[in-house]
Chain A
Amino acid sequence: MATVQSDQLLTQFQPNEITPELARKRRSQFRIIFDRFTRNKVAVAGFVVLAVLLVAAVFAPIITGQTSTYDPPNDPNLSIALSGPIPGHPLGTDDLGRDELARMLFGGRVSLAVGILTALLTILIAVTVGSLAGYYGGWVDMVMMRVTDAFLSVPLLVVLFVLARTFSDGSVPSIVILIAAFEWPSVARVVRGEFLGLKEREFLLAARTLGANDLRLMVRHILPNAAGPIIVAATLVVGDAIITESVLSFFSFGVRPPTSSWGSMLNNSRDFISSDPLLLYLPGIAILITVLCFNLMGDGLRDALDPYMTER
């Protein structure tokens, strides 16, 4: 008798509660985040500008007819040096008569490659260190956090200049490794904090009771829940890395000629400020806009990925 009643209750509630109206409103997790992100017009604008820059950087070899990965066409022509915009050279030429547009495009390739690769490598290191420290705690945490502290106590530019001078061969990968080596500690702290908080939650206990091992718990259960803050941190690392690369190249510790970089182009422009100020303005504006867009997008993502943000 009692079982019949509860069965009746179940059938009463189960199928017909999801009305067509509700079904239409139901959205996937991704959709919710996407909707929230697109509501932030500034962040979307940042994303669009970045997409344009990225396309320009990817197609730079086709636009300029140069096949090298990072080197712009090396065709000095002193008769048109520092020309300012002329037919065939819409942004003018540099002090050796090389096309400024091509150098800007390839400089963007270097900047974006360094920024994005650094962010990826940073995440790889930071997630490994942060998740192990946060999940296992105890002496593992102690050792890893002391190492993190040590890295955070080194003045960034000082050690980067020294290492770039002694270790780097001026290639993009070597610069990426150098910058990532000092960007990961702050991100690792974020990851550790997330893991510390999440590992005490009930759903983790449930997963463990079902027999999941440590690795599965970390990768399948905690990491997806910590993804938001990690993605945000990574976006901000991109901007940081682009600025750092430009500083290194400005002081000629970054990429080496004939590879062009916005930073080294700015250093080069110092002697020609009065004859062709465009050489001073263009690379600087390019860095400013790229980094600004990554920062705006990062903040937009932060709001979109935060589950505690209520829908407005």
Chain B
Amino acid sequence: MRRYLIRRVVQAVFMLFVMSIVFFTLLHLIPGGPDAVIGANNPHITPIQRAAIRHRFGLDQPVPIQYLSWLGNALHGDFGISFSNSLPVAQELAARIPATLELFLTALGFALIMAILLGVTAAVKQYSITDYLITVLSYIGISMPVFWFALLLQELFGVQLGLLPVFGRTAADTTSFTNLEIFEDYVVHLILPAIVLSLLFIATWSRFLRSSMLEVIKQDYIRTARMKGLGARQVFFRHALRNALIPLVTVVAISFGGIAGGAIITETIFAWPGLGRLFLVAVNFPDYPTLLAYLLFGAASVIFFNLVADILYGVIDPRIRYS
């Protein structure tokens, strides 16, 4: 187990290192790279000013040297300064994490509850009307473009019914609010984005849980438990569900790795001040230091949570052995 873990961590670090080279080269060698962005919006810039800015960002040096100095800084947690607002990139990213994490955790938690409810119901009542209905809904959930779902909810709950706020994380002015009102304000702002973000997770996880439930029910130990006289309900929830959840744990952990890309759509449509919006602004600028840091952050979270998923799987299921 320990040797397996060490090997996987070394592999992950090596992979990130290679990716940093690829991303860096890609972003610096393309036409319209960082060099071309400097002064692109300012027709009055003099060559001397341009040279000064290039020097400030280190763009006057050969790309390999630029990479090495970037890498040296990055290993100390310094990812350069943003082209768009001259603030440290690392600080900008860190400032956005809480908002995205809040949205992501709420959505995943909600999705998990819904997926267990729907998946178990569909498995218990296999081939019933309820089962078919849940199947149809999950098919629609998988095929639905997320941004359209978001627009529909905005239109329905925000515009037509006027029930829920459709933009932002808090009301514009919260100074007169009591503590309870501030909390309420947070919750109502969270509802729609969290539902939108959870849609795809609910649809895929409930399908997944349904089939893993049906797989487990066929096992001998379930028949043994029933033979010993335990009730159907008890066998289902105490014996079957607990085993059926094991593979779902890894799927949930892997989903967590998608935090960098997963929230872009939802955050943009609901004007949620998280990582996804920071990224979209950076792409449109284009703000290369931020993009490079974001790409690596995204890759690192995918790799890290894949590793977590593998380890969790072994911890929860003693039948798994690492070699």
Contact = CB atoms under 8 A, between A and B. Distances in A.
B145 A284 contact: yes
Contact of B279 (A153, A158, A283): A158
A276 B217 CA distance: 51
Given A154-B298, A247-B145, A273-B155, A295 B30 contact: no
Interface residues of B, number: 41
Contacts of B286: 162, 165-166
Nearest to B268: A251
A89 B56 CA distance: 57
25 contacts: A146-B15, A150-B19, A153-B302, A153-B306, A154-B19, A154-B298, A154-B302, A155-B258, A155-B260, A155-B299, A157-B261, A157-B262, A158-B261, A158-B298, A161-B283, A162-B283, A166-B27, A167-B30, A239-B143, A247-B147, A266-B145, A274-B159, A284-B145, A288-B143, A288-B148
A280 B139 contact: no
B160 to A, nearest CB: 9
Range of interface residues on chain A?
Answer: 35 or more
B291 A162 contact: yes
A292 B18 contact: no
B61 to A, nearest CB: 21
Contact of B151 (A154, A155, A284, A292): A284
Chain A's interface: helix, strand, loop or mixed, by majority? helix
B142 to A, nearest CB: 6
A241 B267 CA distance: 22
B145 A166 contact: no
A162 B295 contact: yes
Nearest to A160: B261
A296 interface: yes
A154 B32 CA distance: 22
A156 interface: yes
Interface in A246-292: 246-247, 250-251, 253, 263, 266, 269-270, 273-274, 277, 280, 283-284, 287-288, 291-292
Nearest to A266: B148
Contacts of A161: 264, 279-280, 283
Contacts of A277: 155
Interface string B130-160: 0000000001101111111001100100010
